Amino acid sequence: MRYPVIKPPTRKEQALIRRKIKEVVKAQGGLRPAARHLKIKRSYLGALLDGTKKNPGDWYLRKLGLRRVTYIEEI
């Protein structure tokens, strides 16, 4: 079985991921409490926040209230 190729997020999508993380961090009072609340490792959440990691999996996106959508359009 071959796994589907997932394109990396655009800059706009990366900004959306960072914005959602910042919202959770602000609501929880810090990165460590936010990571505990989301059940994501603090180091991974920090890497997403600072842009070191750019392509989180669907599980992580769902934890942030996001989802990956692929479109096919007729031209």
Domain ranges of the chain: 11-63
The H helix count followed by the E strand count for the chain is 4, 0
* pLDDT tens by residue, 13-37: 999 999 999 999 999 999 999 999 9
CA 25 → CA 47, 55, 73, distances in Å?
A: 14, 20, 37
* pLDDT tens by residue, 44-62: 999 999 989 988 988 999 9
Q: How far apart are alpha carbons 74 and 51 in whole angstroms?
A: 33
Q: pTM, whole model, 2 decimals?
A: 0.83
